[in-house]
Amino acid sequence: MVELKKKPYCLSDEDIAWVENTIAGMTDEEKVGQLFFQLTAGIDEAYLRELMEKYHLGGCRYNNMPGQVVKMQNATLQKYAKVPVFIACNTETGGNGACSDGTFIASGIKIGATGNLDYAKALGKYSNEEAASIGCNMAFAPVCDIHYNWENTEIVTRAFGNDHERVALMSKAYMEGAHEAGVACAAKHFPGNGQDFRDAHISNNLNGFGEAKWMETYGHVYKTLIDAGLDAIMGGHIMMREYMREIKPDIKDEELLPATLCPEIMTGLLRDKLGFNGMVVTDASHMVGMTDRMTRREMLPAAINAGCDMFLFFNDPDEDFATMLDAYKSGIISEERMVEALTRILGLKAHMGLNKGVNIDMTAPVVLGKEEAKAAEAAISRDAITLVKYKDAGVLPITPEKYKRVMIVHIKGAPGPMDDLIKAVMGGAGAKKTPAEDLRDRLIDKGFDAFIYEGPIERMKKQIAAGEKPNINLYFAGKNAISEFVAGQDLVITLCDVGNGRPSFGFSKGGGEIPWYVFELPVVAISVNAPTMLADIPQVRTYINAYDSKPSTMDALVDDLMAGPEAFKGKDPIDSFCGLWDAKI
């Protein structure tokens, strides 16, 4: 039973009547349409009109576009929606998750490093004020995952940390800020990511806790939010083997299902044990963690029958819509289950006031980049940067008098499958400084003689580009005397700029990419992205997590480097030593 007078709905009798009467007046097609969120593929009015009038969508998500374009799209969607539609955005790090010109504020882990709940609330408030100004009404946030496994790249920068109490309080603070902005929250990814090293987009994902440990950790996070009025939950494609064995001792491994397809998790755990009364939407349906358990024709209705109320994204609109409609008409999805799902969907829309009508005023200005949001970003940067490891006292502070010549070694991750395509599409237009170039220029402005290391592979590429035969000896035997290498600089900054995964050093024989020389020269390693680089460069004796390379962060980073170790305010929100004893020595 859905209790519309209780949290999160808190509806009046008039609002409840709207929910009930609207459901009673729906055709089968309109009922089925409400179960779907769709990822829009364009802004043409005829296309958006068809989405609403042919498929009767309950919700929409869209690709990142400028705010004014998003606002126009959202106004069009609401114009043709018989029942006002959820329009969701991914405001995990700022208004940039609602539109391409929105304001970045901070990642979850960066806020976790500050330990400041006010910053988490500011993230929720300012991010979603921007989202609301362009017609969005739901945030697929906060990220409530707990980062237990350093090899998990899916949520390493998105989670608030590895302490369940911090995650609970910061997630709640984010939600409070979003609610102040008038935006509903769908917390994710239930029952909890952060243990498996694999990414549910491309593989299975496991949460290995039994019931007692889960209730103490992830359960505590979700119960904190539920008690505070959480609107919705996004179900993750995450299997719970130990939990399922406790409640069904005879279950076979091949019978295990991800939470989004598992009634014992989405209904038994979430509804019955945690008492969640709100709406549930699946994570994206193209993710392998969901698609590798059964056929898609079985999967769509199975998600609804498991306890999810909405299904995130069509594969093929006509095919998926027909599949769900057939499942409803044939009784695979029962009338009782359909009405329950619709009651939660429409109940939340009524709670959000959408039943009173939606008016997106195209003459009103899009409000992006408010000074309060920019100030919050700068303050978080000052308080977040973390000196994780400091074994050689006296290396910091750095000054031009102490280390005149500074070599910056720019370490990146392995190229992604989209990198070449993005370069081809973007060309050279709008090229901006790399983090290494930015840091170099800032240090030069402070009086350092800073330069970026050029490795043998880069030199050979230049030879090829110039029509020359590359000197293979640079690659295999390009070593020089230690004394000569040391004489070339006074300090080395190893700048790790690795988004997801592991750093790629190249196959270097005695070059400078890998900091083998930590006892030959002072070396300061800095990560401006993933905070787990000590796993691959455990030998470095000074290691800093800056979490990103935004201008405010680079300002604070240079100030802290020149002020000394006491200037770094951040506290490690995870185990940045990655559980490795050798990273600590």
The catalytic residues are 283
Residue 585: CB atoms within 10 Å: 10
Kindly write down the DSSP assignment for every residue of 78-142, as one continuous string.
Answer: HHH-SS--EEEE-TTSBGGGTSTTSPB---HHHHHHHT-HHHHHHHHHHHHHHHHHTT--EE---
Range 527-563 burial, b when 16+ CB lie within 10 A, else e: bbbbbbbbbbbbbbbbbbbbbbbbebbbebbbebbbe
Q: For residue 531, which of 521, 520, 545 has the smallest C-alpha distance?
A: 545
H or E segment to which residue 177 belongs: helix 164-180
Residues 235/260, Cβ–Cβ less than 8 Å: yes
**Residue 27, Cβ density class (10 Å: 0-12 exposed, 13-18 middle, ≥19 buried):** exposed
Kindly write down the DSSP assignment for every residue of 205-265, as one continuous string.
Answer: -B----HHHHHHTHHHHHHHHHHTT--EEEEP--B-HHHHHHH-TT--GGG---GGG-HII
Residues 184/137, Cβ–Cβ less than 8 Å: yes
Peptide bond preceding 397 in cis form (omega within 30 of 0): yes
Measured between alpha carbons, how far is residue 389 from residues 161, 238, 275 in Å? 18, 34, 43
The CA angle 283-286-290, to the nearest 5 degrees, is 65
Taking the alpha carbons at both ends of the chain, their separation in whole angstroms is: 57
Q: Is 510 left (phi over 0), alpha (psi -120 to 50) or beta?
A: left
Phi first, then psi: what are they for 229, rounded to 5°? Answer: 100, 30
Q: For residue 559, which of 397, 347, 341, 428 has the smallest C-alpha distance?
A: 397
